[in-house]
Amino acid sequence: MLIENLKLFLRIVEKGGLAAAGREVGLSPATVTDRLAALEAHYGARLLTRTTRSISLTDEGRELVTGARRILAETEETEARIRLGVEKISGTIHLSAPSDLGRNQIVPLLDRFMTMNPEVAIDLSLSDSYVDLVGRGLDLAIRYGELSDSTMKASRLGENRRLVCAAPAYLELNGTPLHPVELAHHNCLVMRFGSNTDQDWSFVIDGEKRTCRVRGNRIADDGDLIRQWCLNGHGVAFKSEWDIRDDLETGRLVELLEDFTPEPSALQMVYPAGTVQPRRVRALMEFLSKKFVR
């Protein structure tokens, strides 16, 4: 029963409430409450702080999320090895990726991986915003940039270079900026990450890393939409090279300010530290590391 209560606890955290978790698994609110109380009694600690509108994890609850994921992963893998044999990989992999990179690079690789492993299911979240892996119950995330969260581990996929680009039609009408400061006179397509807008673009000017503030009449939290706006000639974008590589090769987009482009950052697979990754997740990570086009 402890294993089932741990599963229910993680479902409560993932769904953000007891009632929503109960509906997901077909349990009444009273039953969910009783089973949560039994789990808290088992560990001798309050796991959730509840209000009429929301729940939040206590310190003990956050610790249990990590521990429960590890316990359930080990249990599931043991059952899979016994029932299906050591050569088979099965179960659901929950992962997150940036929208452009996910659609254009990750999804085709996932399709190939699932063809090779037909008993694997994929639950993919495409988002350019920060995603809480533990809170969302994710096994893995593909992220740009260096890892700063000590509760996470990372495995490097490659390097990521961000560059300024625009469509030839836009440049014909508005001219080509030759220095980052000239972006102040151009319509720049701005990404929003959560509540923050990416209006300070980084460059290397006179050997030093500097930022230039940009503005424009189009802001979005979806990198694929920024790319489409750029392709349609609506403005200048600051995009990952992974997202527009084909557009640059075909001439649909033109790289700008190449002499001022900053050093590449990392493209990484990120996962919670202290957890035992199921065999299917380890297999996917190994597959992506080998197949990802650098």
Q: How many residues does the chain have?
A: 294
Residues 47-54 have a mean pLDDT of 78
pLDDT of residue 85: 45
Helical axes 279-291 vs 107-116, angle rounded to 10°: 120
> Measuring CA to CA, how many Å separate 228 from each of 86, 124, 247, 250?
45, 22, 11, 15
Question: Is the per-residue pLDDT at 16 higher than 50?
Answer: yes
pLDDT band at 83 (very low <50, low <70, confident <90, very high): low
Q: Cβ(65)–Cβ(57) under 8 Å?
A: yes
pLDDT band at 242 (very low <50, low <70, confident <90, very high): confident
Domains of the chain by start residue, with CATH: 1-84 (1.10.10.10), 89-159+264-294 (3.40.190.10), 162-262 (3.40.190.10)
**DSSP states of 14-27:** HHTSHHHHHHHHT-
Q: Cβ(190)–Cβ(212) under 8 Å?
A: no
Positive or negative CA dihedral for 41, 44, 50, 54?
Answer: negative
pLDDT band at 5 (very low <50, low <70, confident <90, very high): confident
> Measuring CA to CA, how many Å separate 165 from each of 151, 157, 230?
35, 24, 8
pLDDT tens, 181-210?
999 999 999 998 877 899 999 999 988 899
pLDDT band at 50 (very low <50, low <70, confident <90, very high): confident
- For the chain, the distance separating the N- and C-terminal CA atoms, rounded to the nearest angstrom, is 46
Lowest mean pLDDT among 134-138, 147-151, 287-291: 147-151
The pTM for the full model equals 0.64
